[in-house]
Structures are given as C-alpha cells and as structure tokens.
Structure 1
Amino acid sequence: MDTPRVRYEVSEKFYKGHIRIANEWPIAQTQYSEYYLNGEEMSLQHTPVQNESKLTYNAEPGQTENSDLRFKFTADEDMELTGNMKLKLWVSTDDADDMDLFVGIKKFDRRGNEVYLPDFNHLENGQVASGCLRVSHRELDPVKSAPYQPVLKHKNLLKLNKGEIVPIEIEILPSSVFLKSGESLVLVIKGSDIIVDDNPTGSRGYGHSDTVNKGTHKVYAGGKYDSFLLVPLIPLRD
C-alpha cells in the first residue's frame, strides 16, 4: 500500500531513461494529439491533410524494394509521450481478401540516426512501440474500446472485396519515450515483421512467419481519408 500504483521509465535510448510514478493508468494529465498522414511529403502533421493520396507497398515477406511506408514527425520542443498510441488507416488490396499489417514507431536523433530502445521482447535493436492487425478482425467492440485504445470483437470475419477501401484502427502497445527538440518519430507500416527475430531457435517468443498477404497493399490519406497517428503527450515536469 505504500508503493505507487504506477511506475514507468521514460526512455531516451537503450539503458538511459528517467523513472516516473503516477496514481493511475492512463496518466491523468495525458493530452492525446492526432498527427495526420501526409502522403505527399511522407510526414505526420497536426492539421488534417487536404489533398488525397494513395500509397502502395509490397506486402509479401522477403520484399526488399518498396516494402514499407514511413511517415516522419520532428519535435520542435522537448516532448514526453507515455501511454497507448493508436493508428487509424484507410486501406485496400486488389490481390487478396484479407491483409496483415504491422506497425512500428521508431525514434531518430537530430542527425537522422535511429535510436534503439528495449521494445517489447527485443534485445539491442528495439523500437519505441509496435502494433499489428489482421484486417478481417477489424470490427471494434464499442463498449470496451476507448478513443486511445481500440478493442476488437474477434467474432466476425470481415473479408475484403477487391478494391474495397475500409477504415481500420490498430492498437499500438503502451510505451514511454522522451524526444528532445529536433529529434524525430517515424511511423512504419509494413506487411511483415518490422524487426525480425534473428534467433534460429525462436526462443524470444515473437514473430509472424505466416501471413495472409499477397501482392501489394494500398494506404489512403488526406481529404475524406482521415488516416492519423494518435499520440499520448504528457506535459513536461521538472
């Protein structure tokens, strides 16, 4: 009863961070902010994007060219992001009736070098946070879902028709990261694992070797396609 209900580390990089405490989760003073996907500049911006964009990537595992989409946001002041992120996307495919999507949030320093973090179940080369979704399971549970955390029903398989454009919400697992002014977050969208388990025994207990993906995926942003990344901003403290 004498210990805080919540204890967490605000990570700056691997082995460097600050321990914080709180009385609740999500943290009471969290300010959720939407960063909209700009498909023309491949950036994340505060305001809705006016022009529509259709972006395509090769979704099958093992692809080395055009195998992901990356959107960048650069902090103009110091920022702490702690809690759940959420990604809303509009997607389609012409090559299958289902899609597996994998999402990563990465940190980069002012020189453009990736800053590695412990991440979920990774060792030396982790990212800020991860998420994934099989699109046929996109049906939300309206009772259990929160604006910052979609919860899926997993009761109906909502297969895709050829060229059908659907909205999806992807839960990104909780994380805590500190960005200094000039440092960046990069959103990665891919059809296979963003970080591959290089342990031949698979003993780390994660990885997706079998997906439903075929051909290419399409992501829509701007205009009527309000694709955005929701981030949990914590007001800075001394």
Structure 2
Amino acid sequence: MVASSTTDAELSPTVRVLDPEGRDIRFVSALDPAGVVAHGWLRASHRAPDAERTLPYRPWHPHGRLDPLTPGAAVPLDIEIWSTSVVVDPAGHRLAVTVQGRDFEFPGEDPWPRSYGVDTKGHAIFLHDDPDDRPTSVFGGVTT
C-alpha cells in the first residue's frame, strides 16, 4: 500500500546484498558495472495492471491511463523487480530490500563508473529526475 500527500508518487524497490559488516556488495549487470542485485520502478498513477498479462510473480502495467492518487488515501501498488540470479555466500551476508521514492544510489564519494554520460551509482543509466516530468508540486510530497 502507498499513500502520498500529493496526487502522485514514484517508488523504486531495490534488492541489495550486504556483507557481514553491512557494506553493499556491488554486482556487474547488463546496465551497471557496479550495481545492485535487482531493482524496479513504478509511478503510482500508472499502477493499473493488465489483468490478462499480469502473473502472480510479475505485474504487467500497460501505462495506458493515469490514475492520480487522492492525497492521504492508500492504494495497492504492485511493482515488478527485474529478474536476476545471484548466489549469496558465504554465511553472514544478507539480502536487503530498500524502497525509496527516488532512484537508489550507493552512498559515498567513490569515483563512479560512467555510462552514456551518467554516473552509475547503483541505478544504471536510468534516472527519474527531469523537473518537467517530475515536478516538485506533484512528486515532492510525503510518501508512506
């Protein structure tokens, strides 16, 4: 369930692996040379699923209509996390799921790998920060 103080929100679930000290383990993927295990992203106003194409393990959103949120009202939101395959070993490592209202970024000031002119800080090259597409008046609310 998700609610916002505005009429829309974006959610980005991220699956990470942490070492025994709680530090992120980074993975080479097709889109990021030092990224997370898996991630997803969905704009709440695009939450309507396609009933025929949705599977129990994979929601399918056609993005064909907008369903604005009613500020303060909670609605269900199913977000696909892109498929992946990873073995977590040795003992002491943990899986972590982070859900944020923005793109995930690893902390720190490392010299980040760059791809297509974008610092890839765990989110690959896909950024959701265009002020014309993501105005603060709509996406700057409090999301719970």
**Does the pair score TM above 0.5?**
yes
TM-aligned CA deviation for residue 122 of structure 1: 1.2
Distance 2:87 2:71 in 1: 42
Tell me how far 1:106 sits from its aligned partner. 0.5
**In the aligned structure 2, how far is the partner of 1:198 from the partner of 1:159?**
36
**Aligned residues, how many?**
127
Q: 2:97 aligns with which of 187, 192, 195?
A: 187
Aligned residue among 110, 118, 133 for 2:42: 133
Could you tell me which residue of structure 2 aligns to residue 101 of structure 1? 11
Percent identical among aligned pairs is 29
Shift of 1:206: 2.3
| Kept after mapping to 1: 8 A contact 2:32/2:125 | no
Extract unaligned runs of 5+ from structure 1: 1-89, 219-238
- Equivalent residue number for residue 232 of structure 1: none
d(CA) in 1 for partners of 2:39 and 2:26?
Answer: 13
Residue 213 of structure 1: aligned partner: 139
Secondary structure of the 2:14 match is: strand
Where do 5+ consecutive residues of structure 2 fail to align?
107-111
CA shift at 1:173, angstroms? 0.6
Listed one character per residue, the Cα deviations across residues 60-116 of structure 1 (whole Å, up to 9, x for unaligned) are: xxxxxxxxxxxxxxxxxxxxxxxxxxxxxx01011x101111111110122322111
Whether the 8 Å CA contact 1:103–1:130 is kept in 2: the answer is yes
Residue 7 of structure 1 is matched in structure 2 by: none
Query: What does residue range 47-196 of structure 1 map to in structure 2 within 5 Å?
Result: 90-94=1-5, 96-124=6-34, 126-180=35-89, 181-195=91-105
Bigger proportion of residues as strand: 1
TM-score under structure 2 normalisation? 0.78
